[in-house]
Amino acid sequence: MPLQVNQPTVPTMCDHHYSPTIQSFKCLLLILATALVMSGCQSLPPADSARIPGKIDRLPPTIQSPKEAYKHYLNAQYYLFTGNLEDALRSYEAAIQCDPKSAQLEIEMAALLIRKGDIKEALAHLEKAISLDPNHLEAHQLLAGLHTGMNQLREATTEYEKIITLDPANEEAVIFLATLHAQQGNCAKAVNLLKNLIKKNPDQFIALFYLGKCYIELGQLTAAKKEFQQALHKQPEFLPAMLELGFVYELEKRYSQAKTMYRRILRHDPDNQRAWASLGRLYLLNDQYTEALQAFGEIKRISKNEPETALRIGLLFFEQKYFDDAIREFREVLISRKGPDQARFFLAAALEEKGDLVAAMREYEQISRQSESYIPARLRMAYILGRQKKISQGIKIIKDSLVLFPKNGDLYLTLAAFYEEEQEYVKAIETLNQALENTVNPSEVYFRLAVVYDKKKENAESQRLIKKVLELEPNNAEALNFLGYMYACQGANLDEAERLIQTALAIKPDAGYIIDSLGWVYYKKGLYDQAVLILEKAHQQMPQDGTIAEHLGDAYMKKSRFRDALRLYKKALTLENANIPDLQKKIKTTEELLHGLSL
């Protein structure tokens, strides 16, 4: 899998039971589709034959036109052949005027417009082609490719479904459709499509490869590994499968086998930068600093010391917390003056991670308003101020940014988080409602609204909103846990609470805060033996969480393990999310109880 280094983000200000996450599935096929569409208009090749703009070999069979249309069409082909796109465009326009009912002319016009980067006009011509000939396969293929390249996933899905209806044997369309379903969070549908394709064609190693990627997304590493191995059995030198298999070994913490796989790739392709990068990252992970430097040296050699290489290596150092090395690489990019804002953002992030907040703020401040890194930088600045308890200054940064970017949903979410932290819940709700109008992910906003209403003790509204999240995302583990924990705290619907939390655990089996929720359900049900076992596991997973420690202390109390309970209550006082007033009361009560027992 490609190296992914997450930019630092502003965490939401809420307790451990309210931990929203951002889901994503980045498929290689989307990148390929984007590159194909934007670089030369060739989406998937048609089932019969590819019509490539620029070839002067025939008149498309669908053109039934007078001589003038034919003449303009041939002129367009000549201009394409010689690279004169403007005259080709004018010739196609003339041909369409002479033959306005030709779907094929509309398609070739769209292909040319894609080459010129005029996507909006290209879409219009493709839609016209389909209106003239609703079953024109090539039109649907180009349109599907365009929607994919523009990240319009639902529209692309509709087009690929149409392609498969027109051409059921089109294996490439099935693979594209499967990856689109996976990107939209419907991995089960993607898996079914790929399995059916493999059943029809067991030698389809590309389908095996993407099936393996789906299994990674589902957390089924053994199944993923099997599919990648099958793909390599069919195509032994298929490097993407080797890379993904190496990544699976990394996830399994089988680092020696991962290194072996990356070295195998390098025997086939000594200049494979991804393999060198993955190998270097593993060396850093295992504290093999000298070997890591050698691997990164190979990357620099291959790329001829391009500034982008220093940026990538800096990110690798950043990922493994070698911040001094990361800072050195990012400064090298800044000296080159290529990609300065992105490098400056990561330089600031590295300085922030080192604890040099003054220097970090100075670097974030220098990022220009025109940069894509501007808003992330302002969010980081606000977060630093929040950590320093300079809430009013953090709010000012976000409000100033909203004047420049009034439609940015992340700014509203962060502003609402500040208000929530200050217990200004009315302002938080007003801000989140503004976020709803400026977001592509309403479920995240509904989740935050549910949290705020819960803190306002307006349980009915909180439940309504969290159920809205589950309508949009039925497998949202955080929302499932939130509703189940809410029921548990109320002592209501405990069977439903257990079902919800068990479902969340099936999605995130190692999440300590969800394990704690299950233990709390058992506690509320009076099943104290089970509660103790589950809450001990949760405490092991999240030993720094005061709420979990307090829950375990409560369960010990029910089992008359008073000294253990007292120990947990006192420990909880020193931890995150500690409810200090309640803990102090419980400590006093338990000490008095123990004192009475000793008399």
User: Comparing C-alpha atoms, which of 501, 549, 561, 550 is closest to residue 525?
Assistant: 501
Give CA–CA dist 39/33, Å, rounded. Answer: 10
Q: Where are the alpha helices (DSSP H) in 473-527?
A: 477-490, 494-507, 512-525
569 in a structural domain: yes
What is the torsion angle, in degrees rounded to the nearest 10, for the CA atoms of residue 490, residue 492, residue 494 and residue 495? -160
* Token digits of residue 18: 């309210």
Which domain covers residue 592, as residue numbers? Answer: 507-598
293 in a structural domain: no
414 in a structural domain: no
Tally of CB atoms within 10 A around 174: 23
DSSP string, 446-475: HHHHHHHHHHTT-HHHHHHHHHHHHHH-TT
The total number of structural domains in the chain stands at 1
DSSP string, 40-59: HS--SPPSS----TT--S--
The distance of Cα 64 from the centroid of its chain, to the nearest Å, equals 48
Q: Counting Cβ atoms within 10 Å, is residue 315 exposed (0-12), middle (13-18) or buried (19+)? A: buried
pLDDT of residue 66: 63
All residues at 6 or more sequence positions from 61 whose CB lies less than 8 Å from its CB, including other chains: 104
385 in a structural domain: no
CB 153 within 8 A of CB 24: no
User: Comparing C-alpha atoms, which of 156, 153, 157, 135 is closest to residue 145?
Assistant: 156
576 in a structural domain: yes
577 in a structural domain: yes
215 in a structural domain: no
All residues at 6 or more sequence positions from 150 whose CB lies less than 8 Å from its CB, including other chains: 119
What is the number of alpha carbons within 13 Å of residue 409 lying toward its C-beta? Answer: 14
What is the torsion angle, in degrees rounded to the nearest 10, for the CA atoms of residue 505, residue 507, residue 509 and residue 514? -40
370 in a structural domain: no
Give CA–CA dist 238/447, Å, rounded. Answer: 42
For residue 511, give the CATH number of its domain. 1.25.40.10
* Token digits of residue 280: 């270097």
Regions of the chain where pLDDT drops below 70: 1-66, 338-339, 599
Give CA–CA dist 514/19, Å, rounded. Answer: 10
Output the CA–CA distances (angstroms, integers) from residue 572 to 186, 438, 440, 519, in the order listed: 40, 40, 39, 17
All residues at 6 or more sequence positions from 555 whose CB lies less than 8 Å from its CB, including other chains: 519, 523, 528, 531, 532, 535
Q: Where are the alpha helices (DSSP H) in 235-339?
A: 239-251, 255-268, 273-285, 289-303, 307-319, 323-336
User: No. of H helices and E strands in the chain?
Assistant: 32, 0
Fill in the DSSP letter of residue 510: T
